[in-house]
Each structure stands twice: as structure tokens, then as C-alpha cells.
Amino acid sequence: MMRIVYSFIHLIGDINLSIDSVATKLILIGDGRVGKTSLCSHLRTKTIPGTYSLTVGLNIEVHETLFQGTSVKLVLWDLAGQNRFGCVRSDFYLGARVALIVFDVQNRGSFFDVKHWIRELKRHSPNTPFILVGNKKDLNKREVSYDEANLVAREFSAQYFETSALEGENVEKLFQTATRLALKGTAVAY
């Protein structure tokens, strides 16, 4: 397990970076089936997969974007949310610059688990800031209100976004904000 993480960290060093480019690690965490993979997919391709496919352990993608005139490679670590993967997730937090804690606004259980994900993040990466994300806002079966979720985010001094990976609503804005948060305190002005 550790060998995989260290190999990937070495791989990040091999990503083609120019003098005007920077790479940063962003992790997506939350229960299974809340749309973490779909958010990554929409960011990269403006589409989402037609069928659900379980993330086994970890899915890593790289998305290049321009931020404040600098080329930024977002290394997106999409962590599996199912309990059975809990024992392998701890190493994946290493080096994260920002986390997106994602829940499904039509699934109250995934919202109840948000505090579990915050505790896990703080246990494995205590200084990593996060953004709380309510996904699937396009569906009409809402079980979690905007105000309720925003209150939880404010309790932890975090921002709250609602997104629709299917329609692309707020996806770009979410990742721009995450990029700004990830690069805060680096040589790239935000």
C-alpha cells in the first residue's frame, strides 16, 4: 500500500511542469454514490458516465486549468466512500492541499455522514481545508435544505456549494474556488 502512494507521489514529480505551471492535489471524499466521480468527469469532459461504476479504492485524474495566468494541474484523488475501503484511505490523504466533502442532497444519510468525513480528514490531514459540496441538486427529491448544509459548513469555517454534475451547475465555480484554496499560501497569487 505505501509503495503505491510513494510511487504516485514520485509520478507527480514527473508530470510535465513548465516554469509557469504548478501541480496541486485535491481529494474528493464522501459516501459512495454521491457523485464524486461524476464531478471529476464533468470537470474534465463536460459529461458524466452513463452508468454507475463503483470506485475501487481510488481513482486519480489530472485536469489542467489556467488560474491567475498560471497553468495549474489539479491532481484529483477520488476516494472510494464505502466502509470496506476505510483501511486503505488513510494513506491517500497524504499531501492533499484541499478536500471536497461531497454528499447527495437527496440522501439524508449521506449528509449525516458528513461529520464522519470531516473527522477522518482532520485525523489524517489536520491542516487540509475543505469545501462542503451538496451534489445532485437537479433532482426533485431533496432531503437536505441549503440552509441546513450551509450551517454545518459554517460550523467548521468551510464554504458550501451545491452542484449538479449532470447539468454542470456550479461545477466549474466549485473547482475554481478549490484551486484558489489549494494555492493559498503558495507562490501563485490568488
151-160 pLDDT tens trace: 999 999 999 9
Residue 164, domain member (yes or no): yes
20-50 pLDDT tens trace: 678 999 999 999 899 998 999 889 877 666 6
Confidence class of residue 140 from pLDDT cuts 50, 70 and 90?
confident
CA torsion sign, 58 to 101 to 89 to 121? positive
Residue 65, domain member (yes or no): yes
CA torsion sign, 94 to 22 to 18 to 170? positive
Residue 189, domain member (yes or no): no
CA torsion sign, 34 to 78 to 20 to 46? negative
Residue 51: per-residue pLDDT: 62
Residue 88, domain member (yes or no): yes
pTM (two decimals): 0.84
Residue 128, domain member (yes or no): yes
The residue among 189, 131, 181 whose CA lies nearest residue 24 is: 181
Residue 153: per-residue pLDDT: 98
Residue 188, domain member (yes or no): no
Judge contact between 71 and 49, C-beta under 8 A.
no
How many domains does one find in the chain? 1
Residue 26, domain member (yes or no): yes
Residue 140: CATH number of its domain: 3.40.50.300
What domain range includes position 113? 2-183
